[in-house]
Chains A and B, each alone.
Chain A
Amino acid sequence: NAGVTQTPKFQVLKTGQSMTLQCAQDMNHEYMSWYRQDPGMGLRLIHYSVGAGITDQGEVPNGYNVSRSTTEDFPLRLLSAAPSQTSVYFCASSYSSSGRETQYFGPGTRLLVL
């Protein structure tokens, strides 16, 4: 199993540009989530999904969209990038949405918005 994969590893955007951060898992996990990591702020939940076709907002959803058309994929879209979205983004997945299971994290995407 490849586990949780994220692409790209690093991206530079200009303010106002759009992009999609890709996340995929091959473990047939129901639950997937996106976090951003900022110095002094820890990990903050952006959006999460408890299964295909179901998404919900986390702690900091503004400026981000998600969709979950398949179990495997959970892309994160920035429609109009802002410098405040400069961060490291982590995708995670777990077997179910019960909350009891361990989350598996991807390697992260480092995003710089100029």
Chain B
Amino acid sequence: AQSVAQPEDQVNVAEGNPLTVKCTYSVSGNPYLFWYVQYPNRGLQFLLKYITGDNLVKGSYGFEAEFNKSQTSFHLKKPSALVSDSALYFCAVRDMRGDDKIIFGKGTRLHILP
């Protein structure tokens, strides 16, 4: 069965600094990987996904993520953080070889400090 881990409950970054939110996964086949963001009292919004191809994926709001098969990671990054990036971020995985489940991590709360 697939699983995904977000090892940090919270990440604090000063505005203007680069940010990284970590995600590692476990699948038996190849993964489809996703990042979603949740703003307070809202549903989840899609940021970006890795399906196949280039390991560096660019998404909404200036975010990008790098797929690393050897480290089974899919870390979310942004070169320069904004206060408005403060939110809850979720990584999700689907195992191409498995069933149709899409499993989410526990989420990482990102605080951008002005």
Name A's B-contacting residues (CB within 8 A).
4, 31, 33, 35, 40-45, 48, 50, 56, 58-59, 90, 92, 97, 99-100, 102-108
Instruction: Kindly provide the distance from the CB of B103 to the nearest chain A CB, expressed in whole angstroms.
Output: 6
16 intermolecular pairs with C-beta atoms under 8 Å apart: A4-B43, A35-B104, A41-B106, A43-B44, A43-B90, A43-B107, A45-B104, A50-B100, A59-B101, A90-B43, A99-B94, A100-B49, A103-B44, A103-B102, A104-B46, A105-B45
The 7 closest A-B pairs by CB, nearest first: A42-B106, A99-B94, A43-B104, A105-B43, A105-B44, A102-B46, A42-B107
B54 in contact (CB, < 8 A):
no
Name B's A-contacting residues (CB within 8 A).
6, 9, 32, 34, 36, 42-46, 49, 51, 90, 92, 94, 96, 99-107
List the B side residues contacting A107 at CB < 8 Å: 42-43
Inter-chain contact B105/A31, CB cutoff 8 Å: no
List the A side residues contacting B104 at CB < 8 Å: 35, 42-45
Task: Give the residue name and chain of the A residue nearest to B47 (CB).
Answer: A102
Instruction: Kindly provide the distance from the CB of B44 to the nearest chain A CB, expressed in whole angstroms.
Output: 4
Inter-chain contact A97/B100, CB cutoff 8 Å: yes
List the A side residues contacting B92 at CB < 8 Å: 43
Instruction: Kindly provide the distance from the CB of A46 to the nearest chain B CB, expressed in whole angstroms.
Output: 11
List the B side residues contacting A90 at CB < 8 Å: 43-44
Task: Give the residue name and chain of the B residue nearest to A108 (CB).
Answer: B43
Taken together as a complex, chains A and B put the C-alpha atoms of A43 and B36 apart, in Å, by 11
Inter-chain contact A48/B51, CB cutoff 8 Å: no
Inter-chain contact B102/A99, CB cutoff 8 Å: yes
List the B side residues contacting A35 at CB < 8 Å: 104
Inter-chain contact B46/A45, CB cutoff 8 Å: no
Instruction: Kindly provide the distance from the CB of A94 to the nearest chain B CB, expressed in whole angstroms.
Output: 8
